Amino acid sequence: MHDLLRIAGLVLREISSLVINQFFWLVFILLVFMYKKSANVESVMLGKKFPLVEKASHSLVLGVVGGLVGSFLVITLGITLQDFANTDQGILTSGIMYIWVIAVLLSLINTRYLCFSYAGGIIALSNLLTGFPVINVPGLLALIGVLHLIESILIRLDGYTYSVPLFLKKKDGSIVGGYMMNKMWPIPLVLLAFGFLLIQGGKAIGIDSMPGWWPILNHSFTANEALGYMPFLVPVILGYGDIAITRTPEQRCRESAARLAVYSIILIFLSIAASKYLIFAFAAALFAPLAHEAIILHGKKEEETGRPIFGPAEKGVTILYSKKNSPSEAMKLEPGDIILSVNNKPVEDEKELADFLAERPTYVWFEVKKISGAIKTMEYQDYGNGVSGLGALVVPKNVSVYFELNDSVKPYEKLMSYIKKISG
């Protein structure tokens, strides 16, 4: 326990420099601009935008918490991207550079490939097969596992907040209601690099001596070499983008987070084994991109082919979203609820519901079918002004404004189209 407390203290000491870390705040400003750009959908669907300051500060706080957890794991495992046997080649910088280059190139094929799982897997296999680029493969793959573990925790806790209701046209031509989740978190991550590899009085000059069981992730060094490490802060953005059609946003995030957490833990254990046995390095390098892609494709298939819970109801009106401080919120109407009747009068579509409320009744009660199938009665009253509307977004029988659920247009196709346009 004492050793773990020392590691926690080291992490806190490094992250305390966050206030004056210019690169981290540049990353945060980039996140704010990305949130601002993506807020147009909120205006279209809700008639207003979620407060930008509120969204950004929320992401900042949780990002710092995620950074603390991730940094503790990095230091405890002893993750470094450097190969100890090649500390004089500037390989920490070059290794990260190659990963970024590959990630950007892959993103031109599909934006979801802008992820270290794919680029890291390619770089790891290249190193294992050719020796280039020079990088610590187990450390790289373990870092990918830690980053995705942090991401899974943040998705579970925060992925569904500020989710936006919208109408989607599926590939089969049907239009259903759904939710778009688009969250980003700035992560201050403490990494390790080999530092002052000098012997002075039998001790390495670097960070404080670590416990005897450390590092968990074996490094390539010989008995006469002294290990010295330099902790340094790296800003990272983790993001989560998804669509919820067959589940509520919270349910969708819960399932996505669970799968990603299992993936992350397996990858971390494979990386630890890879630091001891070469065969596991190949297994981890293949697992990182292939398993990640399988999770993404499985999730997409679930939402595209599963039964939507926000589709137009055969009888009644489906609730998609309840606005804050509205009668709908006061009655605790939830996404996926179906209003069957109002004041004992059956409701067939949104027009009938609107026409009834246009008469401003002072007291209304709804017969509501919950997602579970249970039938409940919900009441609301306003004797002063009458109930003129629910303050809810419902799924209409005929949708005029919708977004297409289609990723057939690839970024590289857009780029080539733009190049042709500007070249005449």
Which CATH number is 317-396 given?
2.30.42.10
CA distances from 195 to 24, 85, 198, 297 (A): 23, 13, 9, 41
Residues of 164-187 as b/e, b for ≥16 C-beta within 10 angstroms? Answer: bbbbbebeeeebbbbbbbbbbbbb
Residue 231 bridge partners (DSSP): 192
CA distances from 341 to 38, 59, 304, 379, 394 (A): 37, 40, 30, 12, 14
177's tokens:
């209601």
What is the helix (H) or strand (E) element at residue 120, kind and residue range? Answer: helix 116-130
Report the distance separating Cα 180 and Cα 407, nearest Å. Answer: 15
Provide the greatest CA pair distance for the chain.
89
Q: What is the mean pLDDT of each run of 10 residues along the chain (424 residues)?
A: 80 88 92 90 87 95 96 91 53 65 85 87 94 88 96 97 90 86 94 60 47 76 54 88 92 96 98 95 97 94 88 88 91 92 91 91 94 91 90 83 62 46 46
Residues of 240-270 as b/e, b for ≥16 C-beta within 10 angstroms? Answer: bebbbbbbbbbebbeebbebbbebbeebbeb
The per-residue pLDDT for 117 is: 94
421: Cβ contacts below 8 Å, ≥ 6 apart: none
Provide the whole-model pTM.
0.87
The per-residue pLDDT for 194 is: 67
Identify which of 325, 331, 359, 326 has the alpha carbon closest to the alpha carbon of residue 345. 359
Residues of 206-216 as b/e, b for ≥16 C-beta within 10 angstroms? Answer: bbeebeeeebe
Domain ranges of the chain: 2-305, 317-396
189 φ, ψ (degrees, to nearest 5): -110, 130
Report the distance separating Cα 242 and Cα 143, nearest Å. Answer: 23
Report the distance separating Cα 138 and Cα 178, nearest Å. Answer: 40
The per-residue pLDDT for 285 is: 97
97: Cβ contacts below 8 Å, ≥ 6 apart: none
Q: Is 31 exposed, middle or buried, given 0-12, 13-18 or 19+ CB atoms closer than 10 A?
A: buried
